[in-house]
Amino acid sequence: MEKQKTKTYIIYIILILAGLLLGWLFFGDSGDEPHNHEPEPNEMAESQDIEYTCSMHPQVRQDEPGDCPICGMDLIPASDEDDHLDDDPYLFTMRESHSTWANVRTQQVEAEHTGTALRLTGKVAVNEKEERLLTAHFSGRIEQLYADYTGRFISQGERLATLYSPGLMQAQQELIQAADSKESQPRLYSAARERLKLFNLTETQIKDIEESGEASATTDIYATRSGYLTQRAVSAGDYVETGQTLFAIAGLSNVWVELDAYENQIGQIRSGQQATITLPARPEAAFVGQVEFVDPFINPQTRTATVRITVTNTGNMLKPGMLVNATLTGAGQHQLIIPETAILWTGKRSVVYVKKSQDNGFTFEFREIETGPRTTDGYTVLSGLSEGEEIAVNGVFAIDAAAQLQGRYSMMASPERAAIPEPFRSNLEKLFHIYFDLKNSLADDAPEEARNHGQKLKEQLTTIGIHSLEGEHHMFWMDRYEEMEESVEKLVDASDKEEMRVHFEPLSEAFIETARTLGAIGQTWYVSFCPMYDDDRGAYWLSEFEEIKNPYFGDMMLRCGEVRETLREGAVTGEREEPREMEGHVH
């Protein structure tokens, strides 16, 4: 009996222990200790909020897009440290999520063979070649007036007025008397006829007077051409003097279109240039003409010159005084064209953003360019861009605003430029381009061509002069001038291309230091380095393009080298590195 009770107790204890074990297994993980679950990187990225701010009022911050409560401008993403990974103030990197929000789109710069389009405004005017003035050929009084209001159409030969004149009557009587003795006194007869012709009487009228033998104190005035009466200078009963204007009649089959061109547009206009004329009042109508005349004088009030085009007035739609728009098309040429949406206007030099990479978001370079005339597809680029470069064409203002917030160069905070006066600046720019020609000749293994460029460089140095730059950079230029002069003299006198390259190195150093101090004269230039020249000591040169073309080795190792520094107008980016061996250079 005792054994049976003991066995029963053991079973109960086992069941209790089993229940406790099961309870711990099911509920033991719900204690007070927190669950240590680290979010995945993607979860963090998705949950991370983007903060938005205003480019003009950076103190405004909110967690969703909208309008600035101060100025009403669209808010832009507030960039963090991932948005500007570069130390170069010209470069700005946007995260891909931010560029998507700003609807940033890019496009390659292409050269097109197209004509420029210049848009001008003006008005229709009477073609002076189609206008006739009728004047009084003798004094008298307007007896009858038939052309009694302006604007009416006048047919050639139509009677306009009747003029009473005692002087005309006397001249007629002299003819009648002379006609009786024309056989014996032919000269007197001829003089009497000529006097009536001077009174603008026709041959028919003179013959009628001679045959009838009767003189009249009145005569009719007839229209000498068809057209519209544009001026009526007399009324019935008015007395007129010889030479006084009576009527003006103008034909409107051909009219003038007179356009206003500002001073900076005149250089783009030439005689014979094709023009398309449109009317604000009749958008569906278009007329074609050619530039016939450009006024040599500027109107001092409007600061414009008149550009004249003769247009055939089909359907008589062009009325004198009517406002018109005109598009003048220039001759076609190969030129860089960029869309208007890619440009931020800052004056003569404008701003674009050039896409440099897409490794860690979109990296854009602040670039100042000089634009030329407008075309049908955008604006021509005179300097600052190269064919094949990729620029932002949409969302440009968002890029500029974000760059400004982070202290990068932007439209409102452009880099300062060295104050270089003219004509020194233009002459120095020519000097640099001659240096580039010399450098390219050495890269092409063309010593005689390099020698010719060296001679031109000497001549350009003489043109500039050693004392041509005043102020803080006066002594700097004197030192560089002497270095350039000495090096190029030795280069021109060198016996072969290898000796030329020896003297090209100090010449390049002088040009690099000049570009560093005075800026790249409106361009972007590159300081390149070859580590293998002169028994691996290395040497620098200045290039107008980023591609490596080694002037120290030419075709033997044309691609050997790397870009160490980028020089822009008025500023230098990067630090000068000492010569060192370069890994992975191309031979």
pLDDT (tens digit per residue) in 210-243: 878 888 888 888 888 899 998 999 999 899 988 8
* Helices (H), ranges, 213-271: 263-266
The reply to whether domains 96-115+333-405 and 424-573 share a CATH topology is: no
**What's the rounded Cα separation, in Å, for the pair 35 and 373?**
68
In the chain, how long is the greatest CA-to-CA distance? 192
| Residue 573: closest CA among 85, 91, 92, 82 | 91
* pLDDT value of position 567: 83
Angle at 388 between CA 383 and CA 389, to 5 degrees: 65
**CATH architecture of the domain formed by 128-250:** Beta Barrel (2.40)
* pLDDT value of position 29: 47
* pLDDT value of position 486: 96
Q: Are 200 and 247 in contact (CB under 8 A)?
A: no
Angle at 167 between CA 165 and CA 172, to 5 degrees: 100
* pLDDT value of position 314: 86
* Helices (H), ranges, 421-579: 424-443, 447-464, 474-493, 497-518, 533-536
CB burial readout 33-69, b (16+ within 10 A) else e: eeeeeeeeeeeeeeeeeeebbbbeeeebeeeeeeebe
Angle at 34 between CA 33 and CA 37, to 5 degrees: 140
Q: What are the angstrom distances between the C-alpha of 279 and each of 233, 291, 322, 458, 560?
A: 32, 18, 8, 58, 61
**What's the rounded Cα separation, in Å, for the pair 228 and 250?**
5
In 3-state terms, what secondary structure has residue 79?
coil
* pLDDT value of position 331: 56
Q: Are 50 and 97 in contact (CB under 8 A)?
A: yes
**CATH architecture of the domain formed by 424-573:** Up-down Bundle (1.20)
**In 109-267, where do the E strands start and end?**
110-114, 117-125, 131-135, 140-145, 153-154, 159-164, 218-222, 227-232, 239-240, 245-250, 254-262
Domain boundaries along the sequence of the chain? 39-78, 96-115+333-405, 128-250, 424-573
Residues in a beta bridge with 229: 249
In the DSSP assignment, the letter for residue 224 is S
Give the DSSP H or E segment for 44: helix 41-47
Mark the ranges of the chain whose per-residue pLDDT is less than 70. 1-50, 54-60, 70-71, 78-87, 113-116, 330-334, 347-348, 358-360, 416-418, 522, 569-587
* pLDDT value of position 78: 63
- The CATH class given to the 96-115+333-405 domain equals mainly beta
